[in-house]
Every structure is written in structure tokens, then in C-alpha cells.
Structure 1
């Protein structure tokens, strides 16, 4: 039996979200604050016996924070199980309350936590006249959290994440239309509190490893003590009696030492001398604190570990952070094994961000080896190394948009061939696109190296700060990765950037051409033809998909870099390419030429001589605030990152003003006017058009004007 689906409605940072899981190992990935911990907590409220009591103590703060008002709304957490165990006990439970019966045997089951207004409140809402907002507000204003109830149901048929289904079950607050039936059948039947799925399963939660040392010090949280307590109940008391007798004898021997007796007498006498007989303790003893009870003896045991080969074994607080975390994780897994041995009808292991301080090789190995038989494992992680080895079919991607979080399944709707191609691309480098807010796909090393540098130097903000992952596909097979970004899969923006490879010189065949020139023209014509075919293919591929955009360099990236006005960066790099002074002089003239044939051939010759990647490194060293970003790249960046926030734009403007710090070119008064307008824009006091007017006068032709055109 495994969890196949989790629906969250109005719960914390989820307005409505739908997570899909498979048997075996599953991975949940997402940025900070995207709801990974809340998703786990939702599951635990239904399946973790330690959390069950909190299901009856939900508060206003547990409602989705984007609601105008929580009053009257419901929190719904719904689990769907598949391949339900045929064990008699679990079949009886699901047949009684949660199962969907197919041919008298339960194969699929639902189990729901519903936090809703009491029946009396729901009845009053159902009696409202449609459209009577005044009466509705009067009822809602009087609702407190004490008017809410928690119920568990099974055999539900509703898709709770469907807005129309929510209106049918809960009500339409805008239209003031509420159901008169208090317990519609789509909600399923109530499950009595005496029946609990958590009692029939093995469930272990391993929380994020934030402060392992403090966890080992707590009586309740120490995983070693949990293991020892479970074992102490299984040991024959007769075997422990000789040990406890020895401890009692040891304690008595310590207490009978003459020095101990003398100190006890001295303490008693000193108290009497100080406080007098009336206020002195009636009795006082000095005894050994070594416990003589079997359970307390077990609790006194501590773990000592040696990380190196010098035979030294240190306490947990002496270990490295990674070593301590690994030990903690190991003990929690052992706890799970002990529970699993009790032959529960289903086994669930939830692990929250196991990668903290753990070496990348251990992360991969750990993930690879945690495939316990008959166990569903669900990870949450920030690690690209774990996402690299995850099966993309078993991945849920969490994404944050303002106060709202969404859940995506990247393999949804893909056929096996597409999934196989996607798996091959999602290595440790490219898998970071699953963590990004938006993505730019490029075809080569030059763009991967130079674009982030240009954005940082020219605009004063990094791609990372914009939430953009720039992914080098190292080919023009963009579709294999771009298919991720779709309404059915990951709803994030993806900009595809590639070259049209149009010729920058005359490629008309001429009978006077030498063999070498004829071959060059033929090759250039073939590249241009392939570029147009690629443009048509990609535009067709992204048609009707609002998450994808295509952006084309007219020729190649290197040529467009020079054409945009960056010849001097290439001139400064010539010494890293050529050793001959005459060649450097000729190359300088070529690069500074306004003839595309001259500067185009020269920059591509340089790339061929030392490699595109190495040339990009040399050019990146020479990027400054005066570097020009090719227009098609600016378009791609600010199509992927949309909308452009007022704060980010204001920071870019401040950076561009610092780049124009020459009073002769930008008078201080005009610069201050720009700053004032930027501050007003950031505060929302003026709109973009007003800011653009001032910038156009102060910084004519500056890159920030182009950026504003994309905003």
C-alpha cells in the first residue's frame, strides 16, 4: 500500500495543491519557503500517531495566508492510497470507513482531514438568500476558531482541488450560495476516532537535521534512547537482575566511604550553624546517582564514535557536523527498521532535507540505498545531487508565487521515450532547473560563461538574484528539456536562446571562387538553412504554450557580441589568442571594423583557435559596466523573469547611475532627479512611463532603457 495522491486545500501556504506519488522512492524538491515542510506536516497529521492530537488543534494560522478572511472556509487535507493491503485488519478498516470498494476488495482508499465550521454555522450559511452579502458578513464576523470542528472521513469521491467542487461542498462566498446539505456524500463517510490508519501502519519521520547535538541531549528527541527503550522492554528481567543488584551494591559501597559520611555530617552541621535548627532540613544524604533501575540504566548509555583511524572515539558534540548528522540519520533509519519488523500493513518513511552537511557522494549513496522492500520513501531536498539520481517520474516540484505555493509533476503526460530523454539531461548541473523560478536554455559554453557575467556587471544583479537558472544544453536539442515547461507539468517560464547562424558575408556562388572559398560558402549556406529550420521547428514546438519563448541570435553569439559594441573586449583578449605582433595588429583592425564580414570572421577565427569556451573566459575577464548585452539576450532574460519588480528595477537604475559617474556627462542635478524618480517608482507613487521619461533624458541609449522596454 502506498500514498498515491495528497490534496491540500487552504492549508498554510497552499491554496490548492495536488501532489502525486508512486510506490518506492519519491522526491520533493523546491526553493526555500515553497511548502515542503508544510506538505510533510499535512501528511503527518493523518498518519503520524505523534501528530494526531494536533489535527484537533488547528488554528487561524493554519489557514492559507492568501485568503481575504479564513472565517467560513475549510482546510482539507486528503490522502489517497493505492494497492491497499489485502490484510484482513486493514481491509476491515478501509471497508468500514475509507475504502473505495471494487469487486468487494478495497484497492484504492481515501482518508481525509476536514477542518470546517460546526454544523450549526454551516446550517445558518445554507439558509442565506443568494447574494445577501450583508447577512453573510454578519455571520462570518461572529465566527471564532472555537466554532470549528475536525472530522476524518473516508470513501470520498470529490476532487478537492477543483475550485468548482470546493464551491459545491463549501459554498460560493462571492455569490453567497451555500449548500443546504451538511454532509454531502462526496465528502465521504466520517471515521470514528477509535479507528485510525496510523495505528495500522509503520510511519517514521526524520526531520531536517538542524541541531543534532541538542536532539541527542533531549529525553524525548534522542534517537538512541528511543531505540534503547524499545529494546529494554524485550529483555528478560531475570537477565537484568544481576546487573541491577551489582549497581545497588556499588552505590551502597560509594555511600559507605568514610569521606562521604564525613562530608554529609559537615554539610548538615554547617546548615544548622547558618540557619538554626528550626529552618534546617530534617534529613540530608549524599548518594550515588548511578541508576539501579533497568530502564534508567539503558537511558544512561551514550554513543561514542570515531571518525578517523587514530582509535579515538568522541561524543556526538565532538563530531563534525556531517558526521553527527549521518549518525542521527542512521539511528532514525534503524528505528524505522525496528518498527517495520512488527509487520504493519504499510510502511512509510518521510525524510526532510537529509543532505545537510553531508558529502555529495554520501548523499547519492544514501538515496540509492534507501529502497526498502514494501516501503514508500518520500524525501524533501535542496540538493541537486539527490535530484540528479531521482527518477523524474517520482518527483514533485514545489514552487512559490507570492504567498501561494504550487506543486508540479515534471513527467506528467510524457511518454516513456520522452521521459528517458529527459532523464539523460537531468544530471547534477542541469537538474538545478527544477529548483529555479525561471529558466534560460542556451546551446553552448560561450553563453553559459559570458551571459551571467554580463548581467552581473552591466545590470548590477545576478541571474541567481533574479531566480533564473541558465542551462547549457550543449546542443540544439532544446525540446528534450523544454517540454518540462507546460501547463500539465512545470508552470514556470523558460526562454530558449539559440543561433540562427545567418551568414554575415556574401555566400552567392561565384565561378571565380577558389575551392576553399566555395567550401566556406557552402558550409555557411548550410548553417543558415539549418538555422531557419531550427527556428521554424522551435516556434512550432512552443506554439500555444505560454510558458515557452524563443529568442534567436541573427548570426552566432560571438558575432552578435561584437556587433553590439563590444569590440574592445575582444581586442584586449588578442594577446591570449595570438603571439605574433603583426597578426594582433591585423586582428585589431578587423575587430574594430564596421564590416560584419571582417569582424565576424575574425571573432570566429579566434574561437576556433582557442575554443569557444576559453575565448568566452577571456572575454568575461574584460566585461565592464560599459559592455553591451545583445538585444535578443535582454529579451530572453526579461521574458523569463517577469514581472520585473519595482525593487529590482530600482537597484538596476542605481547601478547604472554609478556607471555614469562623470559629472561632465551626467550633471549631478540630473542624476539626483533620476534617483528621486526611482525612489518614487519603488514606492508606487509614479508609473513606469514617468520614470522612463526621466531616464531617457539622463541616460540616452543606456542599457537600462532597453530593460525598461522589456518590463
Structure 2
């Protein structure tokens, strides 16, 4: 049976005691899955775990040296490695296993019932029993065993084919177990499980060799090695791709074989005569040796295939850069999946596809990955540090953030299902927040002011016994993110909270008046929103001045007279006066000092202090209110003007930094959890 378009994908992985991972659960989605995190966080170890189970392996994989002591968590071989991979297909689809040449067996108990088990990854006692030496010994007792084997596959002794057995099932899993025995040997087992999606119990099956027939995979590690990743064998996808290109009958190919054979006989004839002579006797008696440029049979000719790339200089693929190698490997696997494999789902896992590529080259690779996805029929898992693979507003991506916590790799999923949250991905410069240990969120150009203030205060704050240092933002892996306005804060805060990256919002006082209520609403701070509404209503009551409002008609008359006598400058001033009266009557206030009622003002001051516990630091005025020397330009241009003046001076010469300093200290204490001591006043040398 040939079935097109089967939608099968890796949905879950559970890893225990493998490399930097003590215990980890991850979910994957159809389509694009992007794993991000700083260097040495454990991203590669997730890919290695997937490769261990689903990667293309030799039929004798369990005898290969794919596990060493270093693969056990912290090198502790007393704790066994366990990895569980789960695959899902759509209910209406069929899995094509017509090319599977092997067999596996289900297990029946003494009553003739199939052995099934409920998988609890927190209590693997029953699961591990079926992967144990005791269970294997019981199975091999033959007639004396309390279990019987029922063979499934394409062998003569099988009761039915794999397709017949699995066509009504939609949940598949492979469990890998490895321990080091008392003789120093690595004992490895892999078991196959399957069930219907609405059931809790899994059928237990021995022999997991059909994993590459269920889900064809290609794993491309960060170290590009075409010889390894394009290994030619009859069981590898690349070998199958090349073999498919060799026709069964082709007279031109036969003639080419003969011509090459004649040429090689002429070239190596002298050497062949010498080693076969009686004086040399390299070969056994009655045997001859020949030297050939290519295999003797058409069936093996594909194994001698070499890939050359001409980019102005024609050389083998392995001599080219990592970018070209990545592009060729992805394209070849895409071609194999579309034209040879045809069926089921395919998984491409690639580490750091951006390696050694300029931005345009990265986008080329990103486009190739999108093409491979084929409208999410296939699946891609990427580890990256590049925004080109994170910032994809056209696609729904499953983002996985990996961090180190107490020397253990931990990870969190975030799926951008919401179009408003997905807007974050449009700004490539902000994607660095996914790699940060902590984040400061600001509105816009105040990012640059805050970064300069951070440098200055770092010279005068001590952490433990050392200075914090002017480069502490980089040293502690902190990102200052410009969100593009106070109404955007909630989007970033929601994502950062979900992926467990601590953050602090730093905004001017206008956020209290306009934006904070929306922030609370979107981030589910109900009580704080109610308190905010009460305070804002009190402010409006104190600011509203009925006497001022009653003056408006008189001012309007004065404006008429000014216009009549062409006193336009005076008319403009009176118009601005009316505008300010109306603003004040509606509660328009830009700074805390605009609130004249001392009781209300003190209550708001305390409220702002309490907000810091919610990772929000609101200044008492606008950015411009803190300038000691006002720049000639306003907004972003004014910020850049001040920054330019700071090349040989302190930022505190131009800006009153005290409140910004307090905000950074709140961040250092709450987000980075540092114990600080102030060595001296800022600006003292």
C-alpha cells in the first residue's frame, strides 16, 4: 500500500540522567520547533537524545559505541539512562510500512491476553520490567515461559503484516534504557509501544527496528561532517536516495563499467603482476588480486558516489564551508522525502543552521527549512542563536527555551498561538531576550540611557567581594529590550513569565495613568487593577478645578479680541491655556508632582513601591524630566544626542540617575538575586 501525506510527528520526549539532563519533559508540535538558550545550556543534548532513539542507525546500533560514561548525568553510572519518545499520527491516516523487512513480536500472557501497561513516567517500575534482563530470560524459556510471542512483520513466520497490525493505532512510542553492569559493559535496550489515542494502556512489543520506517529522520549536528551525515549504506536515507537513481538495465552504464575496468587493468597491470608473482606471494595460492576504480556490479556503484560543488572552485562537498554543506544536506533530504520515501512523516533536526553564514545566507537556509516542512506535513527541530530562525511571523512555531538550573538543563515550551504575542517575533533585535538569564523591559530609546547608567553604577556597586563592574549587563547575561511603547509591555511580560525568565518593567510615570490597567488585565492581576482604578479616580478628583473650567468662556472672548487686533501670539498662548485646563480636568498628569493633594500623592508613592514586587518600576516623571541639560532635540534624537556626549563623561553629568539607579538595584536584587554593597556615591572616583 502506498499512502501519500501521512501526518506523523514526534510529539513528546522524556529524558532522564542523560548528559546535562537530570529529568526533562518536552512537547513538540507539527511543523517548526525552535530550541533556544545560551551556550552550554543543554540544547545539543536534547538533539543527541532524539538522535539516540530516532536517528538513523546501523541495524546493529545496540553494539555500537553510542554510550560512554560521559553520557550519564554528571558521569554517575549508578543512575540509568532512560529516554522516551512519543509519536502521533492523524486518526484518518494510514502508516505505510510496506518497505519494512523485519519483524517484531507482541506478547501474550498464559491466559492468551496481550500484555499491555499503563505508562507512568514518574513510576517506571512496570515499564522497566519489560526492558529488563529478567523479562528477557522469562521470554526465552520457550514452552516453560509464562509469556508467548506473536510475530508481526513481513517474515514467513509472522501472523500478519505491520500495516495490518498498526493501521488502527495512532500513538507510538520507543523507550530506551541503558545501564552499566558490574563488568563495565553498557547494557542497552529499546522497546516499542503503541496504543489508540483515547486509551491509557500501551501494547508492549519487542524489537524497535521499525522506528526509521515509521518516521524517517535526519540529524545534522553543529559539527558539519558530510562523510558522517551523508553516510552511504543500504539502510541510510542517503544510500537509498542514490540507489534509487541507478537503473536496473542501462547499456550505456554497462559499457562505461567495461571501459573503466579496462583502463584500471592497464594502469594497475604492473602492480597486479608483481604482487601475484611467486617471489612476492602476497595472495594465497590459486588466487589473484585486481585493482579497480569502481565496484564490479551496478548494484554497488552508488556507494562510490562523491559530491562536488562548483562555487567558482570545483571541490568535494566536505572541503566547502558549513553553510554550503548544510544547504546541500537539507536539499538532499528534502528530495529523498518527496521523491523516494513518499510516506509517513519526516523529521529534520539541525543544530545551529546559522553557523558561518552571513544574514542573507541564514535566510536562504531558513527558506529551505520552510520548504521541507511542506505545509507542516514534516517536522523540523532547530537549535539556534540566530533571530532568522526565531523571528518568523508567518509561521506558528513551538519555542523551547533551555536554561541551566543548579547545573541541570531545564526547558520550557511556549507556542505562539496568539497573533498579538506573535508580534514580538517581528522585531529581530528583541529575540535576544530568549537567550537571556534576566530581562529589563523599557518603552523605547530609554534603553540606551539605562544601559549607560548601568555601566556607571556598576563601577560603584560591590557584589560579594568584587565590584559589579561596568559590563555587568553582559557578564550576567542580561538583555535590555525596547518594547516599542508602554502598551506592548504585557506581551513581553506574558512570554517571559511563561518561559521562567525573570524580568523588570521600567517605565515613566505616564504608564501609571495610561497603560498599567491594560497590563494588569492582560497579565491577570485583578486586585492590582482594582486598586489602580481607585487611585486614578482620586487623582482626577484632586486635579479637577471647577474655577478653572469656569474661566474658559472668558478666555475664549480674549482669544476673539486677540484675533480681531491680530495679536496672534497672545491668541496662541490663551488657546494653550484652555487646552491645559481641559487636560487637567480629565486627569492628564505626566509626573507625580502634578498631583498636589499630599495624601493622594503619598498613597500613590506607596503604590509604586508595592508595584516593584510585581516586577514593575514606575518613575515619578517622564524621561525628559530627569535631564540636567536638556538636549536640543526631543524623544529618540534627544537620547542619542546625550549618549554622544557621554563618550568621555558620565551619564550622570547630563541625567539625574537616582531613580534609574534604584530601578537597577531592584532588578539586581529581585531578578539576579545578588547581594549588593554600595562602595561610594556614583560619580566618585
The TM-score, its normalising length taken from structure 1, stands at: 0.61
The residue aligned with 1:621 is: 647
The residue aligned with 1:307 is: 311
Please report how far the alpha carbon of residue 397 of structure 1 lies from its aligned counterpart in structure 2 after TM superposition: 2.0
Please report how far the alpha carbon of residue 279 of structure 1 lies from its aligned counterpart in structure 2 after TM superposition: 8.2
Change (3 A) 1:114 1:545: farther
The residue aligned with 2:355 is: 356
Contact 1:336–1:349 (CA<8 Å) still a contact in 2?
Answer: no
The residue aligned with 1:109 is: 171
Contact 2:272–2:291 (CA<8 Å) still a contact in 1?
Answer: no
Determine which of 477, 495, 508 is the counterpart of 1:484: 495
Contact 2:56–2:217 (CA<8 Å) still a contact in 1?
Answer: no
The residue aligned with 2:680 is: 700
SS in 1 for 2:505: strand
Please report how far the alpha carbon of residue 441 of structure 1 lies from its aligned counterpart in structure 2 after TM superposition: 0.9
Higher mean displacement: 523-532 or 247-256: 523-532
Higher mean displacement: 143-152 or 402-411: 143-152
The residue aligned with 2:330 is: 329
Change (3 A) 1:363 1:253: closer
Contact 2:117–2:204 (CA<8 Å) still a contact in 1?
Answer: no
Contact 2:440–2:506 (CA<8 Å) still a contact in 1?
Answer: yes
The residue aligned with 1:231 is: 244
Please report how far the alpha carbon of residue 440 of structure 1 lies from its aligned counterpart in structure 2 after TM superposition: 1.2
Mapped partners of 1:389, 1:700: distance in 2 = 46
Change (3 A) 1:248 1:4: closer
Contact 1:28–1:381 (CA<8 Å) still a contact in 2?
Answer: yes
Change (3 A) 1:542 1:111: farther
Determine which of 370, 379, 387 is the counterpart of 1:368: 370
Mapped partners of 1:442, 1:409: distance in 2 = 25
Change (3 A) 1:44 1:313: closer
Correspondence list, 1:106-185, <5 A: 106=168, 108-115=170-177, 150-152=189-191, 154=193
Please report how far the alpha carbon of residue 304 of structure 1 lies from its aligned counterpart in structure 2 after TM superposition: 3.4
Mapped partners of 1:228, 1:378: distance in 2 = 22
Mapped partners of 2:214, 2:27: distance in 1 = 20
Mapped partners of 2:351, 2:388: distance in 1 = 15
SS in 2 for 1:191: strand
Change (3 A) 1:333 1:147: closer
Change (3 A) 1:155 1:35: same
The residue aligned with 1:192 is: 206
Q: Give a deviation string over 1:265-291, Cα, whole Å, max 9, x none.
A: 9x99xxx9xxxx9889799x9987533
The residue aligned with 1:377 is: 380
The residue aligned with 1:132 is: none
Change (3 A) 1:144 1:479: farther
Mapped partners of 1:36, 1:52: distance in 2 = 27
Mapped partners of 1:367, 1:288: distance in 2 = 43
Determine which of 238, 257, 273 is the counterpart of 1:244: 257
Please report how far the alpha carbon of residue 362 of structure 1 lies from its aligned counterpart in structure 2 after TM superposition: 1.3
Change (3 A) 1:540 1:409: farther
Determine which of 399, 403, 421 is the counterpart of 1:399: 403
Contact 1:507–1:522 (CA<8 Å) still a contact in 2?
Answer: no
Mapped partners of 2:78, 2:196: distance in 1 = 25
Contact 1:4–1:82 (CA<8 Å) still a contact in 2?
Answer: no
Determine which of 29, 34, 41 is the counterpart of 1:27: 34
The residue aligned with 1:671 is: none
Mapped partners of 1:389, 1:398: distance in 2 = 19
Please report how far the alpha carbon of residue 620 of structure 1 lies from its aligned counterpart in structure 2 after TM superposition: 4.4
SS in 1 for 2:632: helix
Change (3 A) 1:361 1:636: farther
Please report how far the alpha carbon of residue 400 of structure 1 lies from its aligned counterpart in structure 2 after TM superposition: 2.1
SS in 2 for 1:152: strand
Mapped partners of 1:411, 1:14: distance in 2 = 22
The residue aligned with 1:498 is: 507
CA RMSD across the alignment: 5.2
Correspondence list, 1:71-110, <5 A: 71=78, 75-83=82-90, 86-87=93-94, 106=168, 108-110=170-172
Contact 1:14–1:64 (CA<8 Å) still a contact in 2?
Answer: yes
Gaps of 5+ in 1: 119-141, 159-184, 568-590, 592-602, 645-687, 706-711
Contact 1:550–1:636 (CA<8 Å) still a contact in 2?
Answer: no
Mapped partners of 1:350, 1:232: distance in 2 = 25
Contact 2:55–2:219 (CA<8 Å) still a contact in 1?
Answer: no
Change (3 A) 1:15 1:54: farther
Correspondence list, 1:54-65, <5 A: 58=67, 60-65=69-74
Contact 1:115–1:149 (CA<8 Å) still a contact in 2?
Answer: yes
Mapped partners of 1:408, 1:240: distance in 2 = 55
Contact 2:12–2:87 (CA<8 Å) still a contact in 1?
Answer: yes
The residue aligned with 1:441 is: 441
Mapped partners of 2:612, 2:454: distance in 1 = 27
Determine which of 377, 385, 390 is the counterpart of 1:387: 390
Contact 2:118–2:202 (CA<8 Å) still a contact in 1?
Answer: no
Please report how far the alpha carbon of residue 389 of structure 1 lies from its aligned counterpart in structure 2 after TM superposition: 0.9
Contact 1:291–1:297 (CA<8 Å) still a contact in 2?
Answer: yes
2:29 matches 1:15: no
Mapped partners of 1:399, 1:301: distance in 2 = 42
Mapped partners of 1:339, 1:402: distance in 2 = 46
Q: Give a deviation string over 1:552-587, Cα, whole Å, max 9, x none.
A: 121123433x4xxxx4xxxxxxxxxxxxxxxxxxxx
Mapped partners of 1:240, 1:449: distance in 2 = 68
Change (3 A) 1:334 1:307: same
Q: Give a deviation string over 1:148-179, Cα, whole Å, max 9, x none.
A: 66352535999xxxxxxxxxxxxxxxxxxxxx
Mapped partners of 1:372, 1:448: distance in 2 = 40
Contact 1:398–1:407 (CA<8 Å) still a contact in 2?
Answer: yes
The residue aligned with 1:606 is: 632
Please report how far the alpha carbon of residue 382 of structure 1 lies from its aligned counterpart in structure 2 after TM superposition: 1.9
Contact 1:549–1:639 (CA<8 Å) still a contact in 2?
Answer: no
Higher mean displacement: 389-398 or 232-241: 232-241
Please report how far the alpha carbon of residue 406 of structure 1 lies from its aligned counterpart in structure 2 after TM superposition: 1.7
Mapped partners of 2:494, 2:607: distance in 1 = 13
Greater fraction of residues in helix: 1
Q: Give a deviation string over 1:372-418, Cα, whole Å, max 9, x none.
A: 26322222222111110164552222222232122212238xxx5xx
Mapped partners of 1:97, 1:49: distance in 2 = 29
2:12 matches 1:5: yes
Q: Give a deviation string over 1:308-335, Cα, whole Å, max 9, x none.
A: 6xxx644446645533442343334334
Mapped partners of 1:444, 1:249: distance in 2 = 75
- Paired residues in the alignment total 529
Determine which of 652, 656, 664 is the counterpart of 1:634: 664
Mapped partners of 1:286, 1:552: distance in 2 = 85
The TM-score, its normalising length taken from structure 2, stands at: 0.63
Greater fraction of residues in strand: 2
Contact 2:9–2:30 (CA<8 Å) still a contact in 1?
Answer: yes
